[in-house]
């Protein structure tokens, strides 16, 4: 019985993957902060690879004149093809590299599916520019490229809202969700989720598109809804260490069904950040093609959307602390698992 119980954790996650994941997270922070975003894109590198090789193909398949059903089917074909390749490569990697003990290759591959340092680099560059010059100037390119948002004609308040939204979204899509799926299913599930999140970012249009991105958005939502609640909780927990943040307001809104915003528009994490800092986020934007996306607003009653760079630095701080809290949770889980094994071995 004790032997069966000791193997129970393997049905949820493999604790031996935790040290590898933490090292990969550290690599992601260091490399991202040193190099900054690649070509202005602070998203995980695997997203950028898919964008370079398959983004143009997807654009040719996603023509406006086609009917919605046709676009959904074409999106399904592209999604199925990419998921097949991701699964195939993940299985190949697991079969040839993991048994051989090549943890270095595993760390590198995981780090390519994560992003943190490059996000911080972009957000801090915008903050320091606004703090010194009093305006965003040209420092918003990374934010626009990473979020696929046209910010050329947007005033500084709108740029700041977009940057704060990125700080919340990146924690979820570029760190928490891929990390959890790696712990659960190793490299294959990590690559599958990363491929879906990349497709949702590239073609999803925040759920307001023509239908081509409907399939990857739906599949990503299935895999991402639980991690998004953990991300929201971490944001709220980090707000307790942030000046002027409101811990209990953030906790309350996580389960509040009256204050709703679609998952495709980063609902949980955006709600957690907006209520914790008592600001209004979201709102209509233009994508990089100039198409208007009527995204929802989110925030407590009486909060303002006229936010400045002082709010941005609080969002950056919350993002950093959330990462540290996540690492702490992983370390506690690893230590607890080790102690549990020792106890079960002693009893048996």
Render 302-321 in DSSP notation, one character per residue. T--S---HHHHHHHHHHHHH
DSSP of 165-219: HHHHHHHIIIIIHHHHHHHHHHHHHHHHHHHHHHHHHHH-GGGTSSSTTHHHHHH
- What pLDDT, on a 0 to 100 scale, did the predictor assign at position 278? 87
Instruction: Report the SS3 class of residue 281.
Output: strand
CA distances from 331 to 7, 59, 189, 334 (A): 19, 43, 22, 5
Q: What share of the chain is helix, strand, coil (3-state, %, to 5)?
A: 70, 5, 25
pLDDT of 87: 93
Cα four-point dihedral sign 311, 316, 284, 280: negative
pLDDT at 338: 67
Model pTM score: 0.90
Is residue 5 one of the residues assigned to a domain?
A: no
Q: What's the number of domains the chain is made of?
A: 1
Residue 106 lies in a domain: yes
pLDDT of res. 300: 82
Task: Compute the residue count for the chain.
Answer: 348
Confidence (pLDDT) at 343: 44
- Structural domain contains residue 162: yes
Examine residue 234 and state whether it is found in any structural domain, yes or no: yes
CA-atom Rg of the chain in angstroms = 20
Q: What local confidence, expressed as pLDDT, does residue 5 receive?
A: 40
Q: Please indicate, yes or no, if residue 45 is contained in any of the structural domains.
A: yes
pLDDT along the chain (348 residues), means of 10: 45 78 96 93 95 91 87 94 94 75 84 96 94 84 94 90 94 96 94 96 87 93 94 90 63 65 88 88 88 88 85 93 95 76 48
Residue 4 counted as domain residue:
no
Q: What is the pLDDT of residue 304?
A: 86
Specify if 7 maps to a domain.
no
Burial per residue of 159-177, b for 16 or more beta-carbon CB atoms within 10 angstroms, e otherwise: bbbbbbbbbbbbbbbbbbb
Is 6 domain-assigned? no
CA distances 99 to 178, 185, 306, Å, are: 22, 15, 54
Report pLDDT for 299: 84
| DSSP label at residue 287 | B
DSSP classification of residue 9: G
Domain of 180, in residue numbers? 14-347
């Amino acid at each position: 019985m004790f032997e069966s119980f000791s193997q129970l954790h393997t049905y949820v996650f493999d604790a031996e993957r935790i040290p590898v994941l933490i090292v990969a997270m550290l690599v992601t922070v260091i490399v991202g902060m040193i190099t900054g975003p690649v070509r202005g894109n602070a998203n995980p590198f695997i997203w950028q690879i898919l964008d370079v090789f398959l983004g143009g193909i997807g654009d040719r398949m996603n023509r406006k004149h086609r009917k919605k059903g046709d676009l959904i089917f074409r999106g399904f074909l592209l999604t199925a093809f990419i998921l097949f390749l991701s699964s195939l490569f993940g299985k190949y990697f697991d079969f040839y590299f993991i048994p051989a003990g090549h943890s270095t290759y595993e760390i590198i591959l995981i780090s390519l599916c994560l992003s943190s340092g490059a996000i911080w680099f972009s957000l801090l560059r915008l903050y320091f520019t606004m703090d010194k010059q009093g305006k965003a100037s040209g420092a918003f390119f990374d934010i626009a490229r990473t979020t696929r948002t046209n910010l050329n004609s947007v005033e500084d308040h709108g740029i700041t809202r977009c940057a704060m939204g990125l700080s919340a979204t990146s924690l979820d899509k570029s760190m928490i969700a891929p990390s959890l799926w790696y712990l659960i299913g190793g490299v294959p599930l990590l690559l599958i989720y990363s491929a879906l999140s990349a497709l949702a970012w590239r073609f999803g249009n925040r759920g307001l598109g023509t239908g081509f991105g409907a399939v990857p958005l739906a599949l990503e939502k299935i895999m991402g809804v639980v991690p998004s609640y953990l991300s929201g909780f971490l944001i709220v927990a980090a707000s307790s260490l942030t000046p002027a943040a409101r811990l209990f307001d953030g906790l309350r809104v996580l389960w509040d069904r009256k204050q709703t915003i679609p998952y495709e528009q980063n609902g949980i994490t955006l709600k957690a950040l907006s209520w914790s800092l008592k600001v209004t986020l979201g709102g209509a934007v233009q994508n990089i093609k100039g198409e208007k996306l009527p995204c929802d607003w989110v925030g407590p009653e009486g909060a303002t959307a006229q936010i400045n760079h002082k709010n941005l630095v609080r969002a950056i701080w919350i993002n950093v602390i959330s990462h540290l809290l996540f690492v702490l949770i992983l370390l506690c889980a690893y230590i607890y698992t080790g102690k549990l094994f020792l106890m079960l071995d002693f009893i048996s």
